[in-house]
Amino acid sequence: MINQLGNYSLYIALLISIFVISKTSLSLRKSSITLSGNIFSLISVQSIMVIISFLTLIYAFVTSDFSNETVYNNSHTTKPLFYKISGTWGNHEGSLLLWLLVLTIFLFIFTVESKNLSQRYRTLTLFFQQIIIFGFLLFILFTSNPFSNLFPIPNEGTGLNPILQDPALAIHPPILYLGYVGTSIIFSSALAAIISGSINKSWASHIKKWVLVSWVFLSIGILLGSIWAYYELGWGGFWFWDPVENVSLMPWLCLTALLHTIFTLEKRDIFHSWAVILSITTFSLSMSGTFLVRSGILNSIHTFANDPSRGVFILCFLFILIFLSILIYFFYQKTIKENLTKPYLISKETAVLLNNLFMMFFLSVVLIGTVYPIFLEVINNEKISIGPPFYHKLLIPFLIPFLFFMAIGPNIKWINDKIGKINFTQVSIFIISIIVSYFFVKKYGVSYLLSLPLFILSIFLFFITIKDFFGKKVNISQKISHFGFSLLILSILLNGVLSKEFSSNMKVGDERKFLNKTIKFESIKVIKEQNYQSLIGEFNIKDENNSLSLKPELRIYDQPQTITSEADISSTIFSDNFLVFNVLKNDGFYNVRYQIKPFMIWIWISVILISFGGLISLKKKNV
C-alpha cells in the first residue's frame, strides 16, 4: 500500500513535468514571458512528490518490506539500520531515484535563488532542467521502477553486497551525485543564457556558485570513494585508473577547467563560447558517467549493478541531450557577443587558457583510456584492459610543465604583464627545489627518467604556494586550493616512491622478516556480530625500538555469503602501516599483506584543502 504511494507520486511528478515543459517552451520564441507563480508552485509540488517517493523507498527499506522487489533484492532483516537506509541508494533503482531527487531539489533551489535575474533566462533554465527531469522520470518509471511489487511476498531478502556495507561508501553516492547533478543546472543555464543572449559577466557571477558547489561535492565524493577503496579493497592503493573511477575524474577535470574559465569570464568578459562548450561537456560527462557505471558496459573491478538493456535508454537520452545542445549552440551562437580585445601573451588570461589546455589533454587521455577497450570489443571482439602504465606514461610528462605554469600563473597580472620582472624569490625557490630534489632522488635511488624534473617542479610549486600565503591578502580561497593541489601531487609522489610492500602466506605463529622488521602472526579469534562473523587476526610488527600491534579483520557474511577483509591501518602524520589478511583454502594458511605507505594521510588532507578553498570562495562573494 505505502509502496504504491511512492509510485503514484512519481507519476504526479511526471505530469507536472509535461505541463511545465509545454508551458515554458513558449519562452523559446517569445522573449516576454514571465514566470508565473503557478509554475513556481508546481515545481515545489514536484520536488515534494519526489521527496515523498524517496522517503517511501527508505521506509520500505527500513521496515524490510519485501513486497517491494528492490528491497527484496538488496536488503535483509538482519542488516544494521544504517545500512538498511544506505541500501536505498546502493542499488540501480534507488540510485536513479536519488539522481532525480537531487535534480528536482536543485531546480527548486535555483528558482528560489535566481529571483533577481531576467525572467526569460530563468524560464529557459527551468525548461531545460525539466526536460532532464522528464527523461529521468521516464527512465525510472518504465525501465527501473523502484516500486515494483513482488508476489507472493518473500520472507527474507537477498541482502546487500557486504562490500558496500561501509560508512564511507554509504555516503559516497549522495555526495558524488550532488556534484554530478549540480552540473545539470550549469548545463541548463548555459543553454538558457545562450538562447536569451545573456552569456556575460553577470551570468558568470551567477553560475559560478553552481560550478563551485558541484566542484566541491564532486571532489569530496571522489575522495570518499578513494578512501573506501584504500581500506576496503585490500590493495592498499587509493587510485587504480579503474573505469569506474575514471568516469568520476573526467567531469572533475572538465569542471576544474570550467571553474577557471568562469572566473576569467566574470573578471575579464572573455571566453564566452568556451564557457558554454565546457558547460555542455561537463554535464555530458556526468551523464555518461552514470550511464557507463549503471549500464554494465564497463568491465571494471568494482561495478555492481549490471543490466545492459537499461543502458540503451540512458544512451539514447544522452545522445538526444547532446544533439539538442549542439544544435542550440550552433543556432544561437551569433547571440554570443565575444569580446574581441585580444589578451596579451603574458597575462593571467593566457595562464587560464594554458590551464584549460592541460585539463583538456588530461581529460582526453582518461577518456580514451576508458572508452577505447569498449570500442575495441564492439568492433572486433578483442578484449583488452588498459592499466596504470598507460596513464602514467601519458600524464607525467605533461604534468611537469603543468606544475611549472601552475606555480607562476597565479602571480601574473590580468590584462598585461611583463616577462622582464623575473622575481628573485622565485628563482631562489627554484634553485632550492633543484637541490632538495637532487639529494632526495640520489638518496632513495629513484631510477625513473622523469622523476627528477617531476620532483623539482612539485617541490617548487609546493614552496611557491606556501610563499603566496605571505603575499597580498587577496584570493585566499585560490591560495588554499592551489596549496592543496601541490600538497596532493607531492604526497602522491612521495607515497609512490617510498611505499614498501610485503606479502606472504602465513599460519598462526609464523614469523617473517621484512626490512628491519619482524612480522609475527600471533593469534586469531572469532567474534559473532549482528549479520556477520568476524575473524580477527593479531599481528605484531617489531623493529629495534618499536612494536606495533595490528588487528585486521575478515568478515564472513551469510546474506549473501561473502567474505570481506577489513585492513587494519595505523596512521601517523608521516606514514601509514597497512595490514590486511585473507583466507586461503582451508588448510591454515592466510595470505598476509603488509604495507608501509608514507604520507598517506596527506593525500586525504590535501583533497580536503582543495575542496575547502572552493567552499571559502563560495562564501566570500554572495553576488
Q: How far is the CB of 456 from another protein (least distance, A)?
A: 23
> CA 554 to CA 579: how far, in whole Å?
12
At residue 527, φ and ψ (nearest 5 deg) are -130, 140
Interaction of residue 591 with another protein, rule CB under 8 A: yes
Binding map of another protein across residues 187-226, x = CB under 8 A, - = no contact: ----------------------------------------
Give 514-575 as a 3 state SS string.
ECCEEEEEEEEEEEECCCEEEEEEEEEEECCCCEEEECCEEEEEECCEEEEEECEEEECCCE
Task: Outline where 116-271 has alpha helix (H).
Answer: 119-143, 167-195, 201-232, 243-268
Interaction of residue 534 with another protein, rule CB under 8 A: no
User: Cell numbers of 397, please?
Assistant: 610528462
Among 27, 433, 564, 617, binds another protein (CB under 8 A): 564
> CA 76 to CA 280: how far, in whole Å?
41
Among 394, 396, 415, 605, binds another protein (CB under 8 A): 394
Cβ distance to another protein smaller for residue 197 or 237: 237
**Rule CB under 8 A: which of 487-506 touch another protein?**
503-506
> CA 554 to CA 210: how far, in whole Å?
42
Count of C-beta atoms within a 10 Å radius of residue 172: 25
Interaction of residue 563 with another protein, rule CB under 8 A: yes
Instruction: Calculate the dihedral angle through the C-alpha atoms of 307, 310, 316, 320, rounding to the nearest 10 degrees.
Output: -120
User: Cell numbers of 502, please?
Assistant: 610485503
**Rule CB under 8 A: which of 233-262 touch another protein?**
234-235
Cβ distance to another protein smaller for residue 6 or 243: 243
Near another protein by CB under 8 A, which window of 68-76, 120-128, 364-372, 544-552? Answer: 364-372
**Rule CB under 8 A: which of 126-155 touch another protein?**
none
Q: How far is the CB of 605 from another protein (least distance, A)?
A: 27
Interaction of residue 31 with another protein, rule CB under 8 A: no
Cβ distance to another protein smaller for residue 117 or 297: 297
The length of the chain, given as a count of residues: 623
Near another protein by CB under 8 A, which window of 22-30, 128-136, 251-259, 555-563? Answer: 555-563
Number of residues that bind another protein (CB under 8 A): 44
Radius of gyration of the chain (CA): 26
Cβ distance to another protein smaller for residue 563 or 608: 563
User: Cell numbers of 89, please?
Assistant: 541508494
> CA 474 to CA 59: how far, in whole Å?
49
Among 200, 205, 540, 562, binds another protein (CB under 8 A): 562
Among 80, 154, 387, 509, binds another protein (CB under 8 A): 387
Q: How far is the CB of 593 from another protein (least distance, A)?
A: 4
Cβ distance to another protein smaller for residue 7 or 504: 504
**Rule CB under 8 A: which of 261-300 touch another protein?**
299
Helix (H, G, I), strand (E, B) or coil at 300: coil
Count of C-beta atoms within a 10 Å radius of residue 589: 16
Interaction of residue 537 with another protein, rule CB under 8 A: no
Interaction of residue 541 with another protein, rule CB under 8 A: no
Q: How far is the CB of 135 from another protein (least distance, A)?
A: 28
194 neighbors 28 (Cβ within 8 angstroms): no
Among 41, 309, 333, 385, binds another protein (CB under 8 A): 385
Nearest to 464 by CA among 515, 509, 421, 403: 403
User: Cell numbers of 154, please?
Assistant: 518473500
Give the CA count within 13 Å in the CB-facing half-sphere of 301.
Answer: 13
Q: How far is the CB of 239 from another protein (least distance, A)?
A: 16
Question: Omega before 308 cis (within 30°)?
Answer: no
Write the single-letter amino acid at 521: F
User: Cell numbers of 348, please?
Assistant: 593571467
Interaction of residue 114 with another protein, rule CB under 8 A: no
Write the single-letter amino acid at 484: G
How far is C-alpha 60 from the chain's CA centre? 29
Interaction of residue 513 with another protein, rule CB under 8 A: no
Interaction of residue 163 with another protein, rule CB under 8 A: yes
Among 565, 575, 611, 617, binds another protein (CB under 8 A): 565
Q: Is 497 exposed, middle or buried (0-12, 13-18, 19+ CB in 10 A)?
A: middle
Q: How far is the CB of 393 from another protein (least distance, A)?
A: 5
Please give the residue ranges that form the binding site for another protein (CB under 8 A).
Answer: 161, 163, 234-235, 299, 301-302, 304, 361, 364-365, 368-369, 372, 382-387, 389-390, 393-394, 503-506, 510, 560-565, 580, 582-585, 587, 589, 591, 593
